[in-house]
Structure 1
Amino acid sequence: MKTLISAGAAFAAILAAPLSAQDNADAVELTEGEAQLAEMLEGRVAGEPERCINTFGSRPLKIIDDTAIVYRDGDTIWVNYTRNPDSLDDNDILVIKKYGSASQLCRLDNVTTQDRFSHFFSGVIFLEDFVPYRLPEDAERSEG
C-alpha cells in the first residue's frame, strides 16, 4: 500500500511541476482579437493608465472582438481592456452616456451596446482605466 501511495504522490508532483519556459511559450495561443491588438501595438510601450481620455474630433472607437476597445489619438493608441472583454463584439455599436466633459471618455461613463443590424440592446460594457501605448522616444527620433 505504501508503494501505491508513494507512486501516486510522485505522479501528482510531476503533474504539479511547472512547465519549462519553452513549454509555456508553445502553450500560449492568442485569440484572433488578441493577435489583432498585438499587431496594432507592436513596438509600442505601455504608459501609466488614466481614468479619462480626450476624444476630440470624429475619430471612432474601435471594438476588437473579445479583447478591448481602442482609440487612436495621434501617435498614441489608447486601450481599454474593460471588465468584461468577452462581451465585446465588433458587430455591435457602442452607445455612450457621458457624465463628465463632452470631450472626454471616462471609465465611469455608461456604455451599452446595440446590435449593428437589428439595433436591439446587446449588452453593458464596464470600462477600466485607459492604457496609453506610445512608440519609445528613441524610435520617434529615428522616424522623424
Structure 2
Amino acid sequence: MTRASAWLIAVLALAAGAAHGANEGRARGEAELAKRLAGYQAGKPRDCVLLSELHGTQIIDGTAILYRGNGDTLYLNRPSGAAILRRDIVMVDYPHGSQLCRMDIVELYDSGTRMPRGSISLGSFVPYVKVKPGQGTRTP
C-alpha cells in the first residue's frame, strides 16, 4: 500500500467516524426534544414571534432551540446549521424591530472563551401548548 492510499484510508475512516458521531448526537437531541415536548401539542408554524412573548431559551444539542413563551407555550425552532448547537454556547441575536423571525441570523459564542463559534439562520417558530388532562386538544 502506498503512503497516499494509507493517508486516504485514514481520512475516510475519520470522516466516517465523525458522521457516525453526528448521527448519534442528533439521535440524542431528538430523544431529548421528544421528552421535553411530551404533553404538548404542536400548532401552526409562524414566521415571527414578538420578543415580548419570549422569556428564555433552551438549546437542544445539535437539534433545535426551544423558546419559552407566555403561559404554557413553547416555540420550537429548527435553525439551519443546528448541528453546531451546544448547551455551552451563548446565542446572540440582532432582531429587527420587536420580533424574532425566520431567517434571522443568530451568532454563536463559546460561553467560556467568548470566542465566535459560527452562526445559524432561524427556521419557523412552531408553537407547542401544554395539554392539560381532560382538556383534549388546543390550537395555539
TM-score (norm 2): 0.70
Q: Which one of the candidate residues 83, 93, 98 is aligned to 1:86?
A: 83
Compared with structure 1, are the counterparts of its residues 59 and 118 closer, same or farther at alpha carbon in structure 2 (3 Å cutoff)? same
Larger Rg belongs to: 1
Structure 1, unaligned runs of 5 or more: 1-29
Q: Which one of the candidate residues 33, 36, 47 is aligned to 1:37?
A: 33
1:115 aligns with 2:110: yes
Q: Secondary structure at the match of 1:66?
A: coil
The AA in structure 1 aligned to 2:87 is D
Deviation at 1:32, TM superposition (A): 2.0
Q: Pairwise mapping of residues 43-58 of structure 1 onto structure 2 (< 5 A)?
A: 43-56=39-52
Name 2:8's counterpart in structure 1: none
Q: Deviations along 1:72-111, whole A, 9 cap, x unmatched?
A: 112111000111221111111001111132xx21113221
Looking at structure 2, the residues matched to 57 and 79 of structure 1 have their Cα atoms a distance apart, in angstroms, of 13
Compared with structure 1, are the counterparts of its residues 132 and 97 closer, same or farther at alpha carbon in structure 2 (3 Å cutoff)? same
Structure 2, unaligned runs of 5 or more: 1-25
Q: Deviations along 1:95-144, whole A, 9 cap, x unmatched?
A: 1111132xx21113221100000001001111110001113477447xxx
The AA in structure 1 aligned to 2:121 is F
Q: Is the 8 A contact 2:54 2:68 kept in 1?
A: no
Please tell me the root mean square deviation across aligned C-alpha atoms, in Å.
Answer: 2.1
Looking at structure 1, the residues matched to 134 and 120 of structure 2 have their Cα atoms a distance apart, in angstroms, of 34
